[in-house]
Amino acid sequence: MTSEPSLPETSFRPASRAIDAGIFVERVAIEIRQARRRTHSAALVAASKASTQRGRSVFGIRFMRKPADGRAASGVSSESPLRSIGSALGRIPFVRWLRRSRIKKLRRQLKVLDQRMGLTERHLGSVTGQVADLGGRTTDVSIQIVDMGGQVADLGGQIADLDRRLSDRLAAASQTIQVGMAEQGGSLRELQRDLRETRETLDQALHDVIPALRREIMFLQRRLNDSGPAKRNADGAPSTAAQEAANYGPLDSLYVAFEDVFRGSREDIKARVAHYLERLTLAGAGQPDKPILDIGCGRGEWLEALKDRGLTAYGIDLNGMMVEVARSHGLDARRADLLEHLRGLEDASRSAVSAFHVVEHLPFEVLISFLDEALRVIVPGGILVLETPNPENIRVGASTFYNDPTHRNPIMPEPLRFIVEHRGFVEAEIVRLQPFPPHEHLQGEGEDQEKLNRLLFGPQDYAVIARRI
């Protein structure tokens, strides 16, 4: 059997205080009743003795009463005339009336006092009852508090147990979730990596295949047009399709595909030529009335970089398909021969002339004519930019330069600068570009090691940048 919970000592304090208050009120009531009886008895004794007291005072005269043993009061003989006068006065009606009046008045006062004492007693009785009732209620409340304390203790134990179980379950769930997230995170990262690689592969395929297919379609269209009689309009003039087919040379599509494989992507080329932009901007090139002319513009990477910088420029190229590719990017590209186009321009009409990987394709005589015409059409203070493979790098001069079968011969940097200055340009500067990445260099230290790295892994291209006076 479970023992009943013991009540704490503090639980009985309200009840004991209520009992003490009841006892105190009861004692006060008893003392009031005793005082009332004493007062009433004293009043009766005073009234009874009013006529038998030793001495009376009437009109300020004190009369002495004869003692009971018949002896005279001290200092006064029994035969004192005052006794006779007192007795005589006691028989006077007025004196008797006055005595009775005083007794009645005293009795009225006693009655009023008795009424007040009764009211006080009843009030104290009511208070005693209320205190007793309050004590009973306090006892009940104390018992209820003890019961509630037990219930709260039980509930606290249940809550603690529930909290402990909940914490255990949350910890287990959190661990399970973390393990699952780690596993899923690994799978998700692998999936994201696969998707990224697949997307890159598809982007590269689209970047490589779609232009190639487009060029092949154009080439096949040209061959189709060339295989039959030329189509003409009603007026006998060649049709638009025939005119467009005439813009393509027999090797245009081949060279476009070759450039896609060996030249590099469009983004790579734009990154390589970006460092020229600041120099041209500082020179004030690219104004609408004095545009920049790019010789051999190809797919238009340099033209696009100039356009993005807000500079006005256009390009020319003999390859009709290259021109179409550049135009498809919203660029001003025209199919024209180098010398024919320059000779048709006015003097000092171009703010700059650029030629990226062009001079290695030109016979020496054509190179000289090109420089002379460029000097004529460039405005004073204008810029000439010539970029070409750098044969100082043995791997370029002896190997990669000949990847392009249309290359004639490499030109060393110093001879090209000499030729440019000899034709009238000034402040010709050699800028070496595109070295091989450091991880391809020979490892080690020493002067010989540095020379080998410079010869084998040095800049792959260089530029001669000059200015017209």
Please give the share of the chain, as a percent, with pLDDT higher than 70. 73
Average pLDDT of the segment spanning 394-411: 94
Task: Work out the pLDDT band at 21, boundaries 50, 70, 90.
Answer: low
Report how far apart, in Å, the C-alpha atoms of 380 and of each of 142, 349, 350, 422 are.
111, 10, 10, 17
pLDDT for the residue numbered 223: 58
Q: Convert the pLDDT of each residue in 154-167 to its tens digit.
A: 888 888 888 888 88
Q: How many C-beta atoms lie closer than 10 Å to residue 146's C-beta?
A: 17
In the predicted model, is pLDDT for residue 127 greater than 70?
yes
Please indicate whether residue 190 or residue 62 has the higher confidence score (pLDDT): 190
Per cent of the chain over pLDDT 90 is 40
Identify the residue with better confidence: 9 or 403. Answer: 403
Task: Give the mean pLDDT of 383-407.
Answer: 95
CA atoms within 13 A on the CB side of 332: 12
pLDDT confidence band for 50 (50 / 70 / 90): low
Number of other CB atoms surrounding residue 140 within 10 Å: 11
Strand order in the sheet with 333-335: 333-335, 313-317, 292-295, 350-356, 378-389, 459-467, 426-435
Query: How high is the pLDDT of residue 183?
Result: 74
Distance CA 49, CA 83 (A): 17
Mean pLDDT check: name the lowest of 81-90, 291-300, 376-385.
81-90
Task: Kindly indicate the confidence band of residue 218, based on its pLDDT and cuts at 50, 70 and 90.
Answer: low
HEC-encoded secondary structure of the chain: CCCCCCCCHHHHHHHHHHHHHHHHHHHHHHHHHHHHHHHHHHHHHHHHCCCCCCEEEECCEEEECCCCCCCCCCCCCCCCHHHHHHHHHHCCHHHHHHHHHHHHHHHHHHHHHHHHHHHHHHHHHHHHHHHHHHHHHHHHHHHHHHHHHHHHHHHHHHHHHHHHHHHHHHHHHHHHHHHHHHHHHHHHHHHHHHHHHHHHHHHHHHHHHHHHHHHHHHHHHHHHHHHCCCCECCCCCECHHHHHHHCCCCCHHHHHHHHHHHCCCHHHHHHHHCCHHHHHHHCCCCECCECEEEECCCCCHHHHHHHHCCCCEEEEECCHHHHHHHHHCCCCEEECCHHHHHHCCCCCCEEEEEEECCHHHCCHHHHHHHHHHHHHHEEEEEEEEEEEECCCCHHHHHCHHHHCCCCCCCCCHHHHHHHHHHCCCEEEEEEEEEECCHHHCCCCCCHHHHHHHHHHHCEEEEEEEEECC
Instruction: Find the range with the poorest average confidence among 174-183, 321-330, 352-361, 437-446.
Output: 174-183
In total, the chain counts a number of residues equal to 469
Q: For the segment 243-264, what is each residue's pLDDT rounded down to a tens digit?
A: 444 455 667 878 888 887 888 8
Pick 27 or 86 by higher pLDDT: 27
- Which two three-digit tokens encode residue 42? 């004293």
Q: Please check whether residue 370 is in contact with residue 364, taking contact to mean a CB–CB distance below 8 angstroms.
A: no
d(CA 280, CA 465): 11
Triad 283, 289, 290: Cα angle to 5°: 40
Tokens of 316: 């020319």
Statement: residue 305 has pLDDT above 80: yes
Q: CA-CA distance, 434 to 461, in Å (whole number)? A: 6
Residue 365 is which amino acid?
E
CB atoms within 10 A of CB 37: 11
On the question of pLDDT at 71 being above 70, the answer is no
For residues 390 and 434, give the distance between their C-alpha atoms in angstroms, rounded to a whole number. Answer: 10
Whole-prediction pTM: 0.53
d(CA 66, CA 74): 10
Is there a contact between 238 and 231 (Cβ–Cβ < 8 Å)? yes
